[in-house]
Amino acid sequence: MSSSISAAASQSTANTRNPCAENGVKPAVQIPANSDEECPRKAMLRRIATHCKNFQGAHLHRSLSQAGLSIALYAGVIAACFWAVSSGLWPLVFLLGPLAGGLLVKLFTIQHDCGHGSYFKSKRANHALGFFISILTFTPYGFWRDAHNRHHASSGDLDRRGIGGVDTLTVEEYRALSPTNKFLYRFYRHPVVMIAFGAPIYFIFMQRIPMAGPMPFTETYQGMRLGQIWKSVVALNIALVLFYGGLSFLLGFGAVALVFGVSVTVAAWAGTWLFFVQHQYEDTYWAARPKWNYAEAAIFGSSHYKLPTPLRWLSGNIGLHHIHHLASLIPNYRLMECYRASEDLLSLPVMTIKDSLKCARLALWCTAQQKMVSISSLR
């Protein structure tokens, strides 16, 4: 997505729907697509796209210091967990689990940046660090990179839903499902299933299998072929056997399973929740072509999740998800700089932790109301 900024700027001029007219306000003069005069929303998108371009590009010393510190902190907490187990104080593992999980989320955000090619200028360096961290996150680097970049390219596009995102149906699609598929969709979207049980199962077990097909209830779905993903999955599986097998030989299988099982589970809970609220909020953005627009989907279909400073650091500033979706070549440590330097970005709404709790019940996109709604609201 090296051309995401220029593409956003051009799309916001040529293909963007006219929000002035859609809101029922007719401009005094019909503005041609190539006119310098634009409605405020369109002009703002242009300014934001131009602004974000100034923050693209990695700083080597910042990337190295952040990665080194994060790996060292995670290794230190994991070492403390193994000490607790060896000392017969294994319950301490559960007390240290949130910290270990939080640091693993931090490492995942670095792997994520490597996948976008934003962490280092060198493609080889991005791939090397990304694969190394994938051994800790249990997430196949190449497979996840390609699936996630597809998500960026099609986020908010009703005609290109698929791999890399949370499966989301429209109200009309849900009503057309068979009773069995309605149950499966409700089951899949239930927060206890998706977050509490589904997230750890997916990260630890399901990512060991090279599959990227649709769920039974989806008709509009872009997956990935087996040939595109199996090498990445198998390569990580081999690395996991060697790495954790070696640790089990030295420290005992039970200790390894307990320590890393807790840290990966906590990270899966936190990471999946973050990913969920980044796009699954009430006034998010979905549109079918030709109205879908990359820049609008990025800015208005991705949340600004306002977190306390420690959580913001642990999550790699990914709460500034609208900026990230518009300009994925901005490394995580420059996102806040980009945000604070733009009056347009500062003027956009934010989502607090309290606000985000309301997102858990939302499961369907209502095209008539142009917002996410709960399944229970249909009854």
The Cα 97–Cα 99 span in angstroms is 5
Is residue 14 in a domain? no
Model confidence pLDDT, tens digit, residues 163-218: 888 999 999 999 999 999 999 999 999 999 999 999 999 999 999 998 877 888 88
- What is the domain range of residue 141? 60-277
In this structure, are strands 169-170 and 371-374 parallel, antiparallel, or unpaired? unpaired
Query: pLDDT-based confidence at 38, cuts 50/70/90?
Result: low
Contact in structure between 20 and 27 (CB atoms under 8 Å)? yes
Between 20 and 189, the higher pLDDT residue: 189
Is residue 227 in a domain? yes
Question: Is 80 exceeded by the pLDDT of residue 324?
Answer: yes
Res 223: pLDDT:
75
Q: What angle do CA 274, 368, 281 make, to 5 degrees?
A: 10
Which parts of 17-121 fold into alpha helices (H)?
Answer: 19-22, 40-53, 60-86, 91-116
pTM over 0.95: no
Query: pLDDT-based confidence at 116, cuts 50/70/90?
Result: very high
Is residue 209 in a domain? yes
Tell me the CA distances in angstroms from 58 to 15, 72, 331, one per residue in order: 31, 21, 6
Q: What is the mean pLDDT of the chain?
A: 90
Question: Is 90 exceeded by the pLDDT of residue 24?
Answer: no
Question: Is 80 exceeded by the pLDDT of residue 222?
Answer: no
Is residue 299 in a domain? no
Region 43-62 average pLDDT: 97
Is residue 31 in a domain? no
Res 10: pLDDT:
42
Is residue 139 in a domain? yes
Contact in structure between 40 and 188 (CB atoms under 8 Å)? no
% residues pLDDT > 90 (the chain): 83
Question: Is 60 exceeded by the pLDDT of residue 19?
Answer: no
Q: Number of structural domains, the chain? A: 1
Query: pLDDT-based confidence at 27, cuts 50/70/90?
Result: very low
Res 252: pLDDT:
98
Res 224: pLDDT:
81
Is residue 366 in a domain? no
Is residue 183 in a domain? yes
Res 21: pLDDT:
35
